[in-house]
Amino acid sequence: MVFNFSEMRFLTHIVFLFLLPATTYSQTAHVDSNRIVYKGTVKVDRVNRDELYARAKNALLNNAGGSKEVIVTDSSEKGMISAKGSIRLPSAYATIKTVEYILELSVDDGNYKYRIDSVYLKQVERGGKTNKISSEEILKAMDISGPVSANAEKQLNEIDMNFQKLLDLVRTDMRETSTVKVRNN
């Protein structure tokens, strides 16, 4: 079967229209109550609560900034530790973009729960003003059409990619047996 150029172009448009909803709704950022929140439970076999707590503290120090000043909550009795973290996003020279968040780890025998919350984007214009954009505002921008929506989707994808990487690093630190290793960033 041979198609001429106009028929092929028509078929291309039809395929595009069928795939448009899949690409539009494939946003991977985790949303809870109209804000970005990542949460889950990870099983770690044959590790008691005290060892997991030591690993959680090490993981937060390794991945949320590398100093004790980032620790927000530190309760070994409750098995919960949280820290403020930040991730720098790629941006034009005139702007510095940083995602700031709180990462919380709660441990129990054989598993831990993680939660990334209080996410916002901090944009600093070199020599100028600083804007803080909440995750709610970024998500609302997805509903606006045109360049605003495209920019919001790009930022959400960058945030998601960095949070997935962060969670993978935490997962690796939580599975390792040594609790004295500190990674320098």
145 found inside a domain: yes
- Domain range for 142 is 30-175
76 found inside a domain: yes
- The CATH number covering residue 154 comes to 3.30.530.80
Tell me the three-class secondary structure of the chain, residue by residue: CCCCHHHHHHHHHHHHHHHHHHHHCCCCCCEECCEECEEEEEECCCCCHHHHHHHHHHHHHHHCCCCHHHEEEEECCCCEEEEEEEEEECCCCCEEEEEEEEEEEEEECCEEEEEEEEEEEEEEECCCCEEEEEHHHHHHHCCCCCHHHHHHHHHHHHHHHHHHHHHHHHHHHHHCCCCCCCCCC
The tens-digit pLDDT sequence of the chain (185 residues) is 565 656 656 656 565 455 544 444 444 567 777 889 999 999 988 889 999 999 999 888 888 765 566 888 889 899 999 999 999 998 888 889 999 999 999 999 889 999 999 999 999 998 889 999 999 999 998 888 889 888 889 989 999 999 999 999 999 998 875 444 444 43
3 found inside a domain: no
41 found inside a domain: yes
Look up the pTM and report it. 0.74
Total number of domains in the chain:
1
